[in-house]
């Protein structure tokens, strides 16, 4: 694996002081690799937006360091930091376009600040608008665009300084599902064609599933769980991860107590129905499907089932041993259900 493009080391962030201080982030440690699409997800108030703003020092951490491409942003002067931020640009939920400027001039804006000659900036801006599929909208104003088109202009503008990292802070939250997919596909294409590292901050599991290779789950300002998307979705190990992976789905509290219940997780290599049928055929054991939650991650079926095993202990043990012997399945017993 390549060297990390972003390294976050023991980062904490407090707002306010004294007894009224609010700790938004607590001892965050993350490595984000060059060229990957990395997701950061959590419920409202988990600290996602604060963390992303600390990545480019729009918010200065109270403790810890942020390194981008080997350079410690927290040690730079204001002038050096402005230069370093050209490597790590950002797009937002609200697009943040200049309404009085055309699309072309919006994309030119960061190059104007960097003193790029006007004709060179205009040429680069047109190339970027073509890249995001809006070459014909160069002279249009933001008010004349749809939400998806505005976000495409914002992406083009973010690419104007040839960044190594693109931070996306809830960049699709204001878009409808179809437009969201088109923007995510664009980000994937840019990641592959330009090699730009993409960091996606979101509360939407569907976004993580669609685009990310690895994910960090934030909970109460700390990293609750981190790893490959497929691995975490197939076998979340923390309560914070389970709340996101099983939203209103297979949680024990929804079912009556008294039975022997297990949660099985599929990692993409097993069809669900044949497992249940095989239990009946091979073992002569019938189980109850109490709940299920499945999804497609990276072209593979990922999901969980909550199964009620027979009350007969021998039959329950037979079923459990059979399931555990299957490939591409992990099994977790739910202790609250033991008799």
280: left (phi over 0), alpha (psi -120 to 50) or beta: alpha
> In whole angstroms, what is the distance from residue 243 CA to residue 217 CA?
11
CATH 3.40.50.300 for the 4-240 domain, yes or no: yes
- 58-64 CB contacts, 8 Å cutoff, 24+ apart: 58/90, 59/13, 61/11, 61/12, 61/13, 61/25, 62/12, 62/13, 62/14, 63/10, 63/11, 63/12, 64/8, 64/9, 64/10, 64/11, 64/12, 64/27, 64/28
- pLDDT recorded at residue 257: 44
Summarised one tens digit per residue, pLDDT across range 34-59 is 999 999 988 878 888 899 889 989 88
As given in the structure block, the two tokens for residue 151 are 């976000």
Does position 135 have pLDDT exceeding 50, yes or no? yes
- pLDDT recorded at residue 301: 58
As given in the structure block, the two tokens for residue 276 are 């249940």
As given in the structure block, the two tokens for residue 161 are 């300084």
Summarised one tens digit per residue, pLDDT across range 153-168 is 999 999 998 999 999 9
Element (DSSP H or E) covering residue 163: none
| Neighbouring residues of 61: CB distance < 8 A, sequence distance ≥ 6 | 11, 12, 13, 25, 54, 74
Starting at the edge strand found earlier in the chain, the sheet holding 37-41 runs 88-92, 165-169, 197-202, 37-41, 214-219, 222-228
Does position 293 have pLDDT exceeding 70, yes or no? no
Place of tokens 């969980």: 304
* pTM, full prediction: 0.73
Q: What are the domain boundaries of the chain?
A: 4-240, 246-337
CATH node for 246-337: 3.30.70.260
């Amino acid at each position: 694996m390549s060297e990390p493009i972003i390294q976050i080391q023991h980062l904490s962030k407090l707002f306010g002081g004294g007894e009224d201080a609010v700790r938004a982030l607590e001892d965050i440690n993350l490595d984000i690799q060059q060229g990957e699409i990395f997701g950061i997800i959590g419920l409202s108030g988990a600290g996602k937006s604060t963390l992303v703003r600390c990545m480019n020092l729009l918010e200065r951490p109270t403790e810890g360091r942020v390194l981008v491409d080997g350079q410690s942003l927290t040690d730079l002067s204001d002038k050096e930091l402005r230069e370093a931020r050209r490597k790590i640009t950002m797009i937002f939920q609200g697009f943040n376009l200049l309404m009085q400027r055309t699309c072309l001039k919006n994309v030119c804006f960061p190059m104007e600040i960097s003193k790029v000659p006007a004709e060179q900036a205009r040429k680069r801006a047109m190339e970027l608008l073509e890249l995001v599929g809006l070459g014909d909208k160069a002279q249009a104003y933001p008010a004349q665009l749809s939400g998806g088109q505005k976000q495409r202009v914002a992406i083009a503008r973010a690419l104007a300084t040839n960044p190594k990292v693109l931070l996306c802070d809830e960049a699709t939250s204001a878009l409808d599902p179809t437009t969201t997919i088109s923007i995510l596909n664009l980000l994937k294409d840019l990641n592959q064609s330009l090699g730009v590292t993409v960091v996606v901050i979101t509360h939407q599991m569907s976004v993580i599933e669609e685009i990310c290779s690895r994910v960090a789950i934030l909970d109460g300002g700390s990293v609750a769980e981190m790893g490959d998307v497929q691995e975490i979705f197939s076998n979340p190990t923390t309560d914070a991860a389970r709340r996101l992976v099983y939203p209103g789905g297979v949680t024990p509290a929804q079912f009556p107590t008294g039975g022997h219940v297990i949660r099985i997780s599929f990692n993409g290599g097993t069809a669900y129905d044949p497992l249940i049928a095989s239990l009946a055929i091979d073992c002569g054991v019938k189980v109850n499907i109490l709940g299920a939650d499945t999804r497609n991650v990276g072209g593979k079926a990922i999901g969980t089932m909550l199964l009620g095993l027979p009350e007969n202990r021998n039959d329950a043990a037979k079923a459990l041993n059979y399931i555990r012997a299957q490939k591409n399945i992990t099994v977790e017993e739910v202790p609250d259900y033991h008799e």
